[in-house]
Amino acid sequence: MSRPTKPISVLSDNIISPLGRTTDENYRQLKAGVSAIRNHQDQARSPQPFYASLLSQGLPAPDLSSPGAYTLFEQLLIDSAANALEGTGVSLGDPRTVLIISSTKGNISLLESDPGQPRPLERISLHSSGLRVAQCLGYNRAPLIVSNACISGLLAMLTGMRLIESGSYDHAVVTGCDLITKFILSGFQSFQAVSARPCRPFDLDRDGITLGEAAATVVLSALGAKQDFIKIRGGSVTNDANHISGPSRTGEELAMAIGHALQQAGLSPSEIDFVSAHGTATPYNDEMEAKAISLAGLREVPVNSLKGYYGHTLGAAGLVESIISLHSLQDSLVLPTPGYNQPGVSEPIHISSNLQPLMRSRNFLKTASGFGGCNAALVFGR
């Protein structure tokens, strides 16, 4: 693989989560050690109490019989993208700008509406809801929809990077969101994958995930970026073809994605300053990631997982965690891994357990893996 012919900069970003409606609000909360995960008793989602990071707790459902009404999923995408675009000079009305939407389940909550409420079933289609979001934002074409399990956010950014590199566009607005519904929560519960407490990534006592809600956006551009803007330097996707829900047992396939991303970025493992891992806190995911990180030559590099702050935000996770990590890089800090106390994986990788300064802050690696054996790796740098 050759290095990108155009530097692709992150012009702007936004995160909407229970910790705040801007990236700055979110980042300040994380630096202060604040987690959005709480114990919830919500019969509409689960007959039993559960831990999660929720935006939509207690919010009224929109009246979809009203013309122009947006679902919460759609409104969050609109608000996040509009916030990120503000002041950038990038317009979604420009034919050289592409809109990319990342989600795993979109408006799936409409299947759970009360029988007396209108249920516009066409809105459940990501294509349909994506068109409504695009039109509201002034994008008069069909947006690209990326829905590939838990790597969706990273894959959406990688898609934007490649479209710009190809010369098809100058800018990419990549926005993603997922909300935790009864359908989603019960699905993970059926796997016995949801922890009865806040998740503990990479810890010896980890026993499952915590779910979360968020929306996030990045504005990528090959034009007009300042010298010190963070850039996407390389990326790759692989599939381990191991199992519909279980990851590779060796980590070789994620390690391959990491190797390809580093090669495209023109970097060696020693030039990565920290790794923002997927770190879901399931026994198999964290073990696989630890093996992959070790195989990729990154055993001594600080590694963190942000799932203990946000839970697993599904189609928004790659975006949320990349955004926080690029601000962490600019701040020359590595955030800790909430819930981590003692090593629980077979490879002795360097899990960040405390807020620590970076001796050097040039590049970081973001990884993700998901159902169906998909893996993604992106390298960001100054």
Q: Which residue has the tokens 């990729």?
A: 296
Q: Where are the beta strands (DSSP E) in 240-353?
A: 274-276, 302-304, 333-334, 350-351
In angstroms, rounded to a whole number, what is the distance separating the alpha carbons of residues 76 and 81?
8
| Residue 248 pLDDT greater than 90, yes or no | no
Supply angle C-alpha 362, 153, 112, rounded to 5: 150
CA torsion, ordered 253, 256, 261, 262, to nearest 10 deg: 140
Q: Summarize pLDDT for 137-147 with one digit per residue, the tens.
A: 999 999 999 99
- Look at the alpha carbons of 303, 308, 310, 314 in this order and tell me if their dihedral is positive or negative: positive
pLDDT confidence band for 57 (50 / 70 / 90): confident
Mode of pairing for the β-strands spanning 350-351 and 144-146:
unpaired
- 3-state secondary structure string across 222-265: CCCCCCCCCEEEEEEEEECCCCCCCCCCCCHHHHHHHHHHHHHH
The stretch 212-226 carries a mean pLDDT of: 92
Whether residue 26 contacts residue 19, with contact meaning beta carbons closer than 8 Å, is answered with yes
Q: Are 214 and 20 in contact (CB under 8 A)?
A: no
Q: Where in the chain is the domain with CATH 3.40.47.10?
A: 8-221, 231-381
pTM flag (> 0.85): yes
Bridge-based pairing state of the strands 231-239 and 8-16: antiparallel
Q: Which amino acid is at 94?
A: D
**For position 185, what pLDDT does the model report?**
96
pLDDT digits (tens, 9 = 90+) for 179-200: 999 999 999 999 899 999 999 9
Domain 8-221: CATH architecture, name and number where available = 3-Layer(aba) Sandwich (3.40)
Burial track 2-14 (b if 16+ CB lie within 10 A, e otherwise): eebeebbbbbbbb
Residue 19: half-sphere exposure toward Cβ, Cα within 13 Å: 28
Nearest to 179 by CA among 111, 82, 244, 280: 111
* Nearest CA-CA partner of 101 in 153, 159, 176: 176
Q: What is the pLDDT of residue 7?
A: 87
Q: What is the predicted pLDDT for the residue at 263?
A: 98
Rounding to the nearest 10 degrees, give the CA dihedral for residues 186, 191, 192, 198.
-70
- Which of the four CATH numbers 3.40.47.10, 2.60.34.10, 1.10.3720.10, 2.60.120.10 does domain 231-381 have? 3.40.47.10
pLDDT category at 4 given cuts 50, 70, 90 is very low
Q: What is the pLDDT of residues 58-109, one digit of tens each?
A: 666 676 777 778 999 999 999 999 999 999 999 999 999 999 999 999 999 8
pLDDT digits (tens, 9 = 90+) for 278-306: 999 999 999 999 999 999 999 999 999 99
